Amino acid sequence: MSMNPFEMAQKQIDLVAEYIDIDSNILRFIKRVERVLMVSIPIIMDDGRLQIFKGYRAQHSTVRGAGKGGIRYSPEVSLDEVKALATWMTWKTSLLNLPLGGAKGGVLCDPANLSKNEIQRITRRYTSEIINIIGPHLDIPAPDVNTNKEIMGWIMDTYSMNKGRPVPGVVTGKPIEIGGSVGRQSATGTGLFFVLEALCHKLNRDLKDQEIVVQGFGNVGGTIAELLYEKGCKVLAISDISGGLYSNEGLNINELIEWRDKGKSLKEYPNDHYKKISNNDLLTTECDVLIPAAVENQITIDNAGDLKCDIVLEGANGPTTPEADEILNNNNILVIPDILANSGGVCVSYFEYIQDTSSYFWSLERINKELKKIILNAFEEVWTISQEKQITPRIAAYIIAVNRVAKAVELRGFYP
């Protein structure tokens, strides 16, 4: 059973509040969402008819800096989803100690049924509707589910045309030619790799010996699967929205990426040696490391007891419900939480923002060096607190992140 994502995000804050000394007024303050803009997006479709789409932009907290968070295009987008995702972004930027807050946006649509021109018109009108609450010092969007660097380029152009000057710092995840950063597209998956590598070192495991299952084959799932495959790991199963593939001998990830990049689904992949499986079957496949890298609410009270892995490395945002989290903990399955594991994307987004505002761009070597330093510093903090207090890494991560935001609220005070 799926849990309302915003209720889930709120429950996580309440859980961590039991472990820290936090003023009740500050707790109430950080649980609320600062603002949400809901917009109407009227578009003339290619066939000449008018269709009206619904869009959102939520800003959970800006007490530590400008809002930061992606924009997704999906038929599943809802008000509670973007509020929850904005909340998780606050904890993610805080855990990495970046001077940013948390935001998220989305448009209720199915890009698979839209032409490129229709998607561009939706993007430009959506940008115009939220233009007064985004900007380099206000709220900086980025790609998310079903959005990409091209769409970020359209947002940057629309914003710049309305402001009368180029403003590359309004979004991150743009094409490199118009102010994007090298390493941004693969950043979330690269960060996952750094965290898993460090975790294996802590557990005295050889990363190359781990058998891996990955849910999701987009930027995040595809990147981490590719990096692990190149490292010599056996990737037993992987899936996209159409379903998954499994082989006890391991999949050839490079061939599957070539197939995906032709615009084809895994369900269509012609290989008699690979078994076709559902996403549900994939989650309960026996492995060492399960990486849910698709969307939220995948590991629930209904399937958590059936997981057959040692480690869950959360590549998606909110893939595990609080009830499922408890089951996994009771079953001695180690969960590395989303706000740590998949924070590479927002980290390199921050680097892109810095590069845009200074008009000086970094090499890929510097990007990955800085990413590794920041994400492993956060990992060490989480691991230390988790071991000292004998608590889960999720609770440890939230203790760090929530404490930082709470301290910022305390120092700033309540206006007026």
Work out the angle between the directed axes of helices 79-95 and 344-358 (0-180°, nearest 10).
80
Report phi then psi at 123, rounded to 5. Answer: -60, -45
**CA neighbours within 13 Å on the CB side: how many for 380?**
6
CB–CB of 207/187 below 8 Å? no
Per-residue tokens: 292? 């849910």
Active-site entry in 83, 104, 149, 174: 104
- What is the Cα gyration radius of the chain? 21
* Residue that has been written with the tokens 């990495």 in this structure: 96
Residue 53 and residue 412: Cα distance in Å, rounded? 38
The full DSSP string for 69-119 is EEEEEETT--HHHHHHHHHHHHHHHHHTT-SB-EEEEEEE--GGGS-HHHH
Distance CA 192, CA 310 (A): 16
* Residue 104 annotated among the catalytic residues of the structure: yes
Q: How far apart, in whole angstroms, are the C-alpha atoms of residue 284 and residue 286?
A: 6
**β partners of residue 159:** none
Collect all residues with Cβ–Cβ distance below 8 Å to 373 and sequence separation of at least 6. none
Burial of 363 (0-12, 13-18, 19+ CB in 10 A): exposed
- Exposure on the CB side of residue 256, measured as CA atoms within 13 A: 28
- Tally of CB atoms within 10 A around 253: 22
Contact 379/191 with Cβ under 8 angstroms? no
Q: Which amino acids are annotated catalytic?
A: 104
